[in-house]
Amino acid sequence: MRLSRYLAHGGISSRRGAEELIRDGRVTVAGEVVTDPARDVDEDSSVRFDGKQVRPVEQPVVIALNKPKGVVSTAKDTHDRPTVVTLIGAKRRLYPVGRLDADTTGLILLTDDGELANRLTHPRYGVPKTYRATVAKAPIKEEALERLRTGVELEDGMTAPAEAKRVAPDKIELIIREGKKRQVRRMLEEVGHPVKSLQRVAFGPLKLDLGEGAFRQLTKVEIERLRSTPGAFQQPKREAKRPPRKRR
């Protein structure tokens, strides 16, 4: 965990405020003054602020759940349908990281770490999500795969190129890096292969390894793997500003 984030979780300051405290030389790690907010630390690093030991008040929690069909990906539901939050029965306030349609099954994450959730779901960070779909009108045509790989025009705009692979005459594996509403279903419908069933089998580096309806808390190692997913913590590239034209 970054030192600035560690201090924030320890209740010392906000993450941005913690960066200033670190640069002011008020924080030590293992007895040495550290001025780099990005320094990696953990509970065994002996972090001190103004000489006092710092420990995170509560470590963020990330839960992996194999969502069954019919369960909605919200904290509450106005139609009294079961939700991913009620399914795991967590004592802490956890929120789903992104959404899966009620009819879509598979891997969904829940957490109380808002920063991590944003980094994993915002399309500008490009974290891959892998789906397996059983489709109609088999066999899946190569033309359909090529359209998916170059982007599909939907009513709300063109999708980014996806990775598409036929794994059986009526089954396809699709990897996307954005999250338009019902995107996978609409993409496959558009290329001529409506979805019969859909499952998310991976989220970034995490693979689905749970039975239907089962869930578990991720380890620290798994959470750090999520944080280091290529693209997850990269800032979007900005276009270089063109110099103003000289007046003649």
Please tell me which residue in 36, 44, 80, 101 is annotated as part of the active site: 101
Pick from 175, 10, 13: which is nearest to 23 by CA?
13
**Strand runs labelled E in 30-154:** 32-33, 47-49, 52-53, 62-67, 95-96, 105-111, 129-135, 153-154
Q: Report CA torsion sign: 16, 17, 23, 27.
A: negative
Task: Please indicate whether residue 44 is annotated as part of the active site.
Answer: no
**Number of C-beta neighbours around residue 33 at 10 A:** 12
**Residue 161: both structure tokens together:** 């190129």
Name the phi and psi angles at 135, rounded to 5: -125, 165
**CA dihedral defined by 185, 124, 75, 180, rounded to 10 degrees?**
-20
Q: Which residues are the active-site residues? A: 101
